[in-house]
Every structure is written in structure tokens, then in C-alpha cells.
Amino acid sequence: MIPGCSTYEAIIEGRSAENDVATESIEFRASPHRKILPYNGAKRGVTSNTAVHELLECPVCMNVMYPPIHQCPNGHTLCSKCQSKVRCCPICRHELGNIRCLALERVAESLELPCKYQVLGCQDIFPYHGRLRHEQNCRFRPYKCPYAGADCPVSGSIPFLMDHLKRDHNVDMHDGCTFNHRYVKSNPQDVENATWMLTVFNCYGYQFCLHFEAFNLGMAPVYMAFIRFMGDDHDARKFSYSLEVGGNGRKMTWQGVPRSIRDSHTKVRDSMDGLIIQRSMALFFSGGSRQELKLKVAGRIWKEDA
């Protein structure tokens, strides 16, 4: 269980086959994509779409500016988000007013721009206003950290997140598509909301996250286990998984499709898309005096035929 929650024991058994800006610390930051071209006698001015694209780059946050685009009395522009957080122009330090740069807004509307995730693999080009809508759902956009134990702000590619999970969250990594995972907790009646440590399985060349949580469903305390897929929903639908718990001659099973980590673990939990066990049933499966949770979750992941 995560730091700050009650103690836990989790054991693998058997098979294992954009930038916020501080109000008083704004500085102009040169874009790494800008080039200073030597003067060769040609007429100065905007001579290419690339140069116009650079004009649309906010000098504070480096993001593309969308209307309303603001400017200082000397004509230096910045986006509306940064304009609301500063008092002076980050370039000339002149006091900002509420001046719109209508000319640049009109020029921008005629442009086509590459997706900001171009460096991550997206090669699509979009009309100025359509670009923002695309980027909100671009399949190349970074993934958020799937760790459920804290509101981790880290995002990145899947390989980057795998290193991050091992290095910063000490997440257990296992190879294989079948598993037996045991969750142990003393005095389970004292736990109303808890999240056990995430476990990641490498299977079919992809990564799958096993989650186990305790929470109240209405007034009833329950446990829930589910699997998320480290990738997009399109690839997640190629797989299925099953989970099973049991004891004393009884068992419960669940079969489903792993949800992409594009969906937060909270969203998956709240949609009840997983194996849900009432606390009384979980303690019955645990055997003994029913004063300690000893719940074994067996599972399997498989790839559906195309």
C-alpha cells in the first residue's frame, strides 16, 4: 500500500510467464527551434511559413498562441494565459495593457501547423484552429504515469514511464501472462479506502498494470481488482484478461478487456469495470477467523484472434 496508508503485504506466487508561469519570475526564453539567419541583402520580413510559425510562439511558455493574442505597446506578443499572469512585457519590460494583436490573429487563421507532438511521431498537419482539437486526442501525446498511489505529475512515452515506475515508485515488474497475486492486510475492518502497490506485467511485448483497491461502494466496503493497458485503447482492445478469487470451495471470476491508461485508475474504478468483491466475501475466501485479509487473485492475459 502506498505511503500514508495502512501497511500491506503483496506476494507474487507461482506462475509468472504546459507550463505554469510564476507571476514575478517571467523571463524571455529563446526557442530551441528558432534559427538566427545571417543578413544577406535580402529584404527583411516574414518570408516563409516557418517564420510565421515562430511569430505564433509565445516567448514565455513556448506554446503556439491562439486567440486572443495579446501584445505590449511595443508590439511584442504573448498568449492570453501568460498575459494574465504577468504585469510587464517579458521582452521590453513595458507595462502590459489589454491590447489584442488582431493582425497576427488574422494571419494565424490562414495557416496550417504541424502537431506539437511531431517529435514523438505525429506527422499530421492541421488548420490553425483544428490543431488544438487534434492535440487533445493525438495518439502520440504523452501518457500520464499510471501509478495509483499518488497524484504523480510525470508523463512521457511508455519506455520512459517504465523506467520511471521502477526508479521512482519501486513498482514490481514481472514477465508472463499468468499470475497469482496475494493481498494480505491485518485488521481489514479499519481500512475504508486503500490502494495496494501497483504491479506491472510484461506480456506479448506490452505492459499491463494490475490494480487492487479498497473503497466503499455506497455503504458497503468492497475490494476491486482490474487491469489497465500501457498503450492506446485501439491496442488495448486486442487483449482480454480474467481474474479469479476463491476459497472454501467457492470462487468468483471476472473476464474483461483491459482499459488503456489514457483512462485514469479512478475512472476505471468508478465505472466498476473489474472484479468487485464485498469485504465479507473476501474475508470468507481468506478463511481462518476472518480477522485478516489473505486474498489470492489469480489472473491470465491473452491476445484475441484478429
What's the CA gap between 190 and 268, in Å, rounded? 24
The band of 241, judged by pLDDT with boundaries at 50, 70 and 90, is very high
7 pLDDT above the threshold of 80: no
User: What pLDDT is attached to residue 300?
Assistant: 97
User: What pLDDT is attached to residue 306?
Assistant: 62
pLDDT per residue as tens digits for the range 112-160: 888 889 888 899 888 877 888 898 889 899 999 999 877 799 999 999 9
- Give the residues across from 18 on adjacent strands: none
pLDDT per residue as tens digits for the range 60-72: 998 888 889 999 9
User: What pLDDT is attached to residue 17?
Assistant: 38
User: What pLDDT is attached to residue 49?
Assistant: 57
All three cell numbers of 117: 507532438
- The secondary structure of residue 20, as a DSSP letter, is -
74 pLDDT above the threshold of 70: yes
The band of 50, judged by pLDDT with boundaries at 50, 70 and 90, is low
Q: What percent of the chain has pLDDT over 90?
A: 43
Short-list 62, 59, 50, 47, CA closest to 113: 50
Q: Which long-range contacts (CB under 8 A, 24 or more apart) does 24-32 make?
A: 26/60, 26/82, 26/85, 26/86, 26/88, 26/90, 27/90, 28/59, 28/60, 28/90, 28/91, 29/59, 29/60, 29/62, 31/57, 31/62
For the segment 21-25, the average pLDDT, to the nearest whole number, is 37
Angle of CA points 168, 174, 177, to nearest 5°: 140
Asked which of 134-143, 179-188, 209-218 is least confident by mean pLDDT, the reply is 179-188
